[in-house]
Chains A and B, each alone.
Chain A
Amino acid sequence: MNESLMDILCCPLDKQDLELEVVRRDDDEVLDGRLVCTECGEEYPIEEGIPNLLPPDMREGAPA
């Protein structure tokens, strides 16, 4: 995930800003880490370069 995306992403629950916590990165992008909502504190994982902004209840399993 390119860090410039921070400008256009938000918490899917309350639409507030997110804070980036980097665990692993390469020259181009963040590979693993977290996006944390500055308002409600919900955490959204970044895995293999892909941020997952689904709310917790939609994160697992097949489509519902």
Chain B
Amino acid sequence: MVDRETATEQVYQPAEDSHLLAETAAEELAALPGDARVVDVGTGSGYVAAHVGEQTGLDVLGVDISPLAVREARDHGVGVVRSNLLDGLTGPFDAVTFNPPYLPTDPDAEWDDWMEYALSGGPDGRRAIDPFLDDLPRVLAPDGRAFLLVSSLTDVGAVTARAAENGLAAREVAEESFPFERLVVLELAHAE
């Protein structure tokens, strides 16, 4: 059993990216009916799921691969499932949010703890983003929308191209600039 203090150090805590995604998604999803199905992938501490839930009154499910993250999110009142990305979900979801690991990392680096795993985007920063985009059309409702946080460090053009390969249209709905990167929220929907 991992003690709670260690666990918190091993779970990604809300930062600028989490806030941008949470606020954008809460605004965009405000008009959804109360029984809409919403899932927050890679929920970590559960911050995005909890914030969107509080602001919209919707029930937001949190999903994470880390056993420490799902426990912490549940402690924050978020209903959780432990799953790798969308693997154990069938949907259909009216909305999906995802603040992925997006920092490009040394290919030789080893992920020997859950915090590194939560941050490491692999050599191109898209280790988690690419499989997410490949599987998203399966679980997204016909008029569903996903909100994906990406960084200029992740190559927004490459993310948009991967989405298009999967029949998804991407558009930028929010952005915030920092000294070394620009954070962007992409809205993804089935292309017409």
Interface residues of A (CB under 8 A from B): 1-2, 5, 8-12, 15, 44, 48-55, 58, 62-64
Identify which of B14-22, B46-54, B89-97 touches chain A. Answer: B89-97
The listed residue (B65, B90, B93, B111) touching A15 by CB distance below 8 A is: B90
Which residue of the partner chain, among B61, B70, B71, B89, contacts A10 with CB atoms under 8 Å?
A: B89
Name the 6 nearest CB pairs between A and B, nearest first: A53-B88, A12-B87, A63-B117, A10-B90, A12-B88, A53-B83
Number of A-B residue pairs having CB atoms within 8 Å of each other in the complex? 70
- The CA of A50 and the CA of B87, in the complex, are separated in Å by 16
State the B residues within 8 Å of A (CB): 37, 39, 61, 65-67, 70-71, 74, 79-84, 87-91, 93, 111-114, 116-117, 138
Question: Closest residue of chain A to B115, judged by CB?
Answer: A63
**Inside 8 A of A55's CB, which chain B residues have their CB?**
84, 87
Contact of B84 among A11, A12, A15, A50 (CB under 8 A): A12
Secondary structure of the A side of the interface?
loop
Nearest residue, chain A, Cβ from B138: A15
User: Which of B84, B89, B117, B138 has a CB less than 8 Å from the CB of A8?
Assistant: B89
In the bound complex, residues from chain A placing their C-beta under 8 Å from that of B91 are 8
Q: Among B70, B74, B88, B113, which residue has its beta carbon within 8 angstroms of that of A62? A: B113
Instruction: Give complex CA distance A15, B138 in Å.
Output: 10
11 A-B pairs within 8 Å (CB atoms) are namely A8-B89, A10-B90, A15-B138, A44-B88, A52-B67, A54-B65, A55-B87, A63-B66, A63-B113, A63-B114, A63-B117
* B74 touches which of A8, A50, A52, A64 (Cβ 8 Å): A50
* A62–B114 touching, CB < 8 Å: yes
B81 x A5 contact (CB < 8 A): yes
